[in-house]
Chain A
Amino acid sequence: MRVCKTITIPGNTSLTGLYAEKVGNYPKFFKMDTLSKLGFLATELLLEGEADRFISREDRAVLLFSRSGSVCDDSHFAKSMEDYPSPSLFVYTLPNIVAGEIAIRNNYRGETSAFVLEQYDKERIRHVVEEAFQDRTTRSAIVGWVDVRSDTDWTCEVSLIEK
């Protein structure tokens, strides 16, 4: 495996500001939760300038890891339950939605998966990525530790890895 490029987005970064500066033409961004916004923006930075970027492909996987899963959006949906339960918040109470958002944006029809670990463990993540390359179609993967503890406190590191 070869790590081609890595992007990190520090906690407390203005995601709307980063979006306006680097993307600016994808209004779906505004309905995303913080986890999806982060995964989306990190991938945008990661793939900046890649040739043939939006052409449909099945050979690239999206594999995301965290400890917190969707707990931040879980709290937002739980709050909405007291008043008017929000279907749009509910959809984001799944840790894998961010992988789906990345797949939709980039037209990836390969594997997308989300994993939850007790703590960040570089070796363990490397093993899971290697195992994902057992898929006979997968040639590259977007791999990230995107752990959102609150709307301002997170760790976000996303890499492009080739088999």
Chain B
Amino acid sequence: MTERVACIGYGALTPVGPSASASYQAVREGRSALRSYEGMFGCKEPFVASLFEQRDRFEGYSFMESIAIRAAREALDAAAINPSSPRVAFVLSSIKGNIEALGQEDVSLSVSAARIARFFQNPNMPIVVSNACISGVAALLQGRRMLLSGQWDAVVVVGAEVQSRFIITGFQSLKALSAAPCKPFDADRDGLNLGEAAAAMVLARSDRGWELADGAIRNDANHISGPSRTGEGSYNALRYVLSSFAPEELAFVNAHGTATRYNDEMEAISLRRAGLPGVPVNSLKGCFGHTMGAAGILESILSMQACEQGCVLPTRGFSTLGVSEPLRVSAQAQSCTGRAFVKLLSGFGGVNGALLFRKGGER
């Protein structure tokens, strides 16, 4: 049995597109669903976010579970596997799940995960990876590890996040939100926007498709709500995934790029320390905002499609470099030749995650 873990199907549902390919096309064309809202979710202050307009749900499922199911279905159809097999596992990545129902029902993330898995008649207890903003990367890494353990034939990794008064008020209390569409890596960046999305990947040991070649999670051991000034954890995660891979082969690095002052500066330092200042860097937060539990999976899926088309996706909102390191931030869509990319994320709790995706090596 091959030790190569690959993505054999993916799906996504975003405010700019009802599928992974439609979402990709929208980003490629520089579209964004970021707009300003007043009074939405009962929030006292206005905010800018990327939200779904249609909020249909399957009967008996929350909106978050419904979009997760739709993304998973697209991925499963593409992978053409039977999700009810006892050899298939579900991994859910969500940060706040159904938090808007707090006080009315059991909002444990495990309840949502079980509902999503049962929708597909899957018999196994799903696992939820709840690692703050790196949850999507951590969930994909968990999927890879489960497959390498030999216990599973396929792992369905689903990420989903919906917005609520709880989350928006929380980020407002931290003064982390921008009052305008965010500007990743820009000199004028002044905070992030929140977003809603669902994304799913089916992983399996396979000789075909994009390989999820390696991954790592590293802690800064510095502060629970601020990134390391030296990019410690991010650099250590990057160094790990590039330990047997030449950086020249990378088409690009898809950064977290939330557009907060501290995050983007920290990532710039991490990339310089890892010897990657020559590699194109982009952030997709200007299209979707920060989609939290969905971000790692959604941004990896878009990056795969971009890399296949030989394209570095544009960093919407970026115009003038505003970090202390000479990063090659991709302002416009540009062409690239590499067949591999790195996905980076960082989050509260001092966590940082890196994944290496590689095309080729198929037999």
Chain B positions within 8 Å of A67 at CB level: 108, 110
A85 to B172, CA, bound (A): 9
B320 to chain A, nearest CB (A): 30
Q: Is the CB of A111 within 8 A of B218?
A: yes
Q: Is the CB of A112 within 8 A of B219?
A: yes
Interface-located stretch among B8-16, B145-153, B194-202, B257-265: B145-153
Q: Is the CB of B349 within 8 A of A116?
A: no
B154 in the interface, Cβ–Cβ < 8 Å? no
Instruction: For A115, give its contact among B128, B165, B350 (CB under 8 Å).
Output: B128
B307 in the interface, Cβ–Cβ < 8 Å? no
Chain A positions within 8 Å of B130 at CB level: 69, 94-96, 114-116
Query: In the complex, how many residues of chain B place their beta carbon closer than 8 angstroms to a beta carbon of chain A?
Result: 55
B256 to chain A, nearest CB (A): 16
A18 in the interface, Cβ–Cβ < 8 Å? no
A114 to B217, CA, bound (A): 12
A68 in the interface, Cβ–Cβ < 8 Å? yes
Interface-located stretch among B77-85, B95-103, B326-334: B95-103
A79 to chain B, nearest CB (A): 10
B62 in the interface, Cβ–Cβ < 8 Å? no
Query: Known: A85-B169, A131-B145, A137-B240. Contact between A107 and B221, CB under 8 A?
Result: yes
Q: Is the CB of B221 within 8 A of A104?
A: yes
A130 to B223, CA, bound (A): 28
Interface of A is mostly: mixed
Q: Which residue of A lies closest to B237 (CB)?
A: A111
Q: Is the CB of B220 within 8 A of A109?
A: yes
Query: In the complex, how many residues of chain A place their beta carbon closer than 8 angstroms to a beta carbon of chain B?
Result: 52
B1 in the interface, Cβ–Cβ < 8 Å? no
Q: Is the CB of B350 within 8 A of A103?
A: yes
Q: Is the CB of B110 within 8 A of A117?
A: yes
Q: Is the CB of A113 within 8 A of B131?
A: yes
B246 in the interface, Cβ–Cβ < 8 Å? no
B136 to chain A, nearest CB (A): 13
Chain B positions within 8 Å of A112 at CB level: 131, 217, 219, 349-351
Chain B positions within 8 Å of A2 at CB level: none
Interface-located stretch among A9-17, A120-128, A155-163: A120-128
Q: Is the CB of A104 within 8 A of B111?
A: no
**Chain B contacts to A: CB under 8 angstroms:** 95-96, 99, 102-103, 107-111, 113-114, 125-132, 138, 142, 145-146, 148-149, 151, 165-166, 169-175, 216-225, 232-233, 236, 240, 347-351
The 6 closest A-B pairs by CB, nearest first: A100-B349, A131-B145, A90-B170, A116-B128, A85-B173, A103-B219
CB pairs A–B below 8 angstroms (22 shown): A74-B99, A81-B169, A86-B173, A87-B174, A90-B173, A93-B96, A93-B170, A94-B95, A94-B130, A94-B349, A96-B131, A106-B221, A115-B128, A118-B113, A118-B125, A119-B110, A121-B125, A124-B127, A132-B145, A134-B145, A135-B216, A137-B240
